[in-house]
Structure 1
Amino acid sequence: MAEMQNSPGLLSMPRSPTSSEDEMAQCFSDYSDDCPSDSSREETIYETIRATAEPSQNHMDDIHTNSMVIRVLIPDLQQTKCMRFNPDATVWIAKQRILCTLNQTLKDVLNYGLFQPASNGRDGKFLDEERLLREYPQPISKGVPCLEFRYKSRVYRQPNIDEKQIAKLHTKAVISAPAQPLHLHCVVLVNVVNDEMSHHSVVSKLHDVFGGEPGDAESPLTFAAQLDNAVEMIRVLKNGGAHLDFRAKDGMTSLHKAARSKNQVILMTLLELGASPDYKDSRGLTPLYHSVVVGGDPGCCELLLNHHASVCTQDENGWHEVHQACRHGHVQHLEHLLFYGAVMSAQNASGNTALHICALYNQDNCARVLLVRGADKEVKNYNSQTPFQVAIIAGNFELAELIKNHKDSDI
């Protein structure tokens, strides 16, 4: 089933249904480390953003009846726009809408964010992407409220600060070569974490690395999230101004990196520091989705679900978390997903349910879990095949018998 083809685009739409044989043959190409060129990647991101952010008529009606007007300044393009936003939508969705209106491309576009300038004694700050716009009240005393759309860099609380001058302070004494590999920057940070003066200068320098040079392969935070015993490093970076929703070049946040590294301690640390379990990567996938794919200790999956991670996220081919759990035979992950409300009957772009996927990949333990919990074994995919028929076609005859002989009384 051509369910797992490479596609780095953001929030891509499901592809048209294909045969079971194609799906099985091509699924192994997904989540590979191969990356397209920077130019093609940026182009794909813009195309898919536009394809998925077109508002429906009902959505447009909702925007006009329940909306807020905001003036958006885009310094890098020297543009200003007045736009309507749904206050009950997330900042992430607002960002998608802004990107759809641009007639010029921005480099490393995923790391642009909405910035609320300082006003009325409040510090300026970037809006967290998974929070609702309504949670950031806008001052209306001066007319239409204003937000900036700009690249995420370190935010200094002191007014009128010269960031370029700050970047020069202490850097030669602490890190003499800005071109050093990023992991060396992190090692230096750990070595000086107890030194107040060095602490601030190193954090400033590290933030310049990921905030001032769009497109770096890793940010300090995404790199640290993959290390063992890096809790203190994570806290120092966050306190020094690192953005929890900043993305590495592969489109993943530090939370995604921790989930894929099966690093439960770092995952907990990031969540305690305020990271959202629903941050999206460049494909619109969440840390929970990646946790289910990589498997390992199901504690990471349970931790994310316990922090109210959304279930039923789907990739560009319509695969939900339950499909991935069944594809890879991650039984305990599947149990956690079902307990927290995952839909067993969800169909991917080929119309396959999780039980179809079990039948295709001969995952009998996952199939038993689904059947015992009441999965409908008579649902047909878009090739008019039941899970039993898929198991027969795939040559998984014992599993086919299991499905065939399961009775409603066994639920």
Structure 2
Amino acid sequence: MPLSPTARKHEEQQQQQQNTCNCSEGEEEESFSREDTVYHTIRTSTAAKTGHQMDNPAPSTVVIRIGVPDLEQTKCMRFNLDAPVWVSKQRILCTLNQTLKDVLNYGLFQPAYNGRVGKFLDEERLLREYPAPSDTPIPYLEFRYKKRVYTQSHIEEKQLAKLHTKANLKKFMEYIQYRHAEKISKMLDKGLDPNFHDPDTGECPLTLAVQLENTSEIIKLLRNGGAHLDFRTRDGLTALHKAVRCRNHTALITLLDLGASPDYKDSRGLTPLYHSSMVGGDPYCCELILHDHATVGCMDENGWQEIHQACRYGHVQHLEHLLFYGADMSSQNASGNTALHICALYNQEAIIFYLQDKYLAFAVARGI
């Protein structure tokens, strides 16, 4: 049953907790605490799905041998071929008996075979899209930390170690900050891996680039130099999330053109579309990711969807786009409140007037 307006205090307390998580980019946290939170989020979101899959087993499944080099473990697991790689990754994390540092930046890696270069599986593509070698009875994948995949055979480990000093990595971030494309290109050509965190800010090169203006060329350089589009900052955000939060539609278009998925998840399992519904501003970013087939209906730990957030903050144009692409106005959060209840709780008159006009026009058109 929906909460009455007197329950607004309860809703505000929930949202204050959410905002604390959302604004944690500038806060210092203990690494073990952050990893524990990530593991808890993944296990909570996966438990219900796993139970449902046991009751209704997927028709297309495959047994894959998973190697975890950092833990020196190997195990065989059954996966749904028609589920995204992200789901398989969650299942693996739930079975680990040891904690991995920066676990969100671990991914499934397909080793080289038959002359093909090894590669990391994109988290939002279906597992079916990555065929296994036909001569292997049980396919093998590695669960490892995402790094640049080198195709050059002449690069030596000693040479890479000299290149990846703290001074060089700091210099590389400065080149991005000041948009020195030529210097960035030279360091990448030498073999620098652009998948790392700045020790001070927690940003990675790609997420820093998407927050700056006129950096499409640099974004492409980083991608061609081995940057993973789904590599996350220390706070668990991908470059796509950062571009949306900064309302940088030029960077967003570049990322989507390079093959980034609009459904990448952050450390809370939230998509860029969800973040767009919260931050508001220019709705063009929201429209872009919806046009790129973003999934509508992402839900946070309190049952809030994009449509609830748009109504909470009075983002009329975002709400209009969400409804056009199929958002459900009748969906309820954990407290039983629909988006319309949220409008009333937070006195968002502009949203209410918009909805009245919309449904009045609908009634007139239908002759109701």
TM over 0.5: yes
Deviations, residues 340-396 of structure 1 (Å, cap 9, x unaligned): 000001111111111111111111121122334449xxxxxxxxxxxxxxxxxxxxx
| 1:7 aligned residue | none
Structure 2: gaps spanning 5 or more residues: none
Of 271, 284, 292, the residue aligned with 1:307 is 292
| 1:86 aligned residue | 80
Q: CA–CA distance in 1 between the matches of 2:148 and 2:248? A: 26
Q: CA–CA distance in 2 between the matches of 1:250 and 1:70? A: 31
Q: Say if 1:25 and 1:62 are closer, same or farther in 2 by CA, change over 3 A.
A: closer
Q: Say if 1:125 and 1:372 are closer, same or farther in 2 by CA, change over 3 A.
A: same
CA offset at residue 140 of structure 1? 3.3
Matched ranges for 1:3-402 at <5 A? 19-29=7-17, 30=19, 31-33=22-24, 34=27, 36-54=29-47, 55-63=49-57, 65-158=59-152, 162-168=156-162, 177-178=167-168, 180=170, 183-187=173-177, 190-193=179-182, 197-201=186-190, 204-205=191-192, 207=194, 209-210=196-197, 217-374=202-359
Q: CA–CA distance in 2 between the matches of 1:180 and 1:334? A: 41
CA offset at residue 408 of structure 1? 6.3
Q: Say if 1:79 and 1:161 are closer, same or farther in 2 by CA, change over 3 A.
A: farther
SS in 2 for 1:85: strand
CA offset at residue 27 of structure 1? 2.3
Residue pair 2:148, 2:227 contacting (<8 A) in 1 also: yes
Task: Report the aligned-residue RMSD.
Answer: 2.8
CA offset at residue 22 of structure 1? 1.7
CA offset at residue 163 of structure 1? 4.0
CA offset at residue 214 of structure 1? 9.6
CA offset at residue 292 of structure 1? 1.3
Range 257-266 or range 64-73, more displaced: 64-73
TM-score by length of 2: 0.88
Q: CA–CA distance in 2 between the matches of 1:73 and 1:181? A: 35
Q: Say if 1:181 and 1:357 are closer, same or farther in 2 by CA, change over 3 A.
A: farther
Q: CA–CA distance in 1 between the matches of 2:339 and 2:184? A: 53
CA offset at residue 137 of structure 1? 0.5
Q: Say if 1:27 and 1:182 are closer, same or farther in 2 by CA, change over 3 A.
A: farther
CA offset at residue 158 of structure 1? 3.4
Percent identity, aligned pairs only, is 57
Residue pair 1:114, 1:148 contacting (<8 A) in 2 also: yes
CA offset at residue 324 of structure 1? 0.7
CA offset at residue 230 of structure 1? 1.1
Q: CA–CA distance in 2 between the matches of 1:110 and 1:307? A: 24
Q: Say if 1:164 and 1:369 are closer, same or farther in 2 by CA, change over 3 A.
A: farther
CA offset at residue 157 of structure 1? 1.6
TM-score by length of 1: 0.79
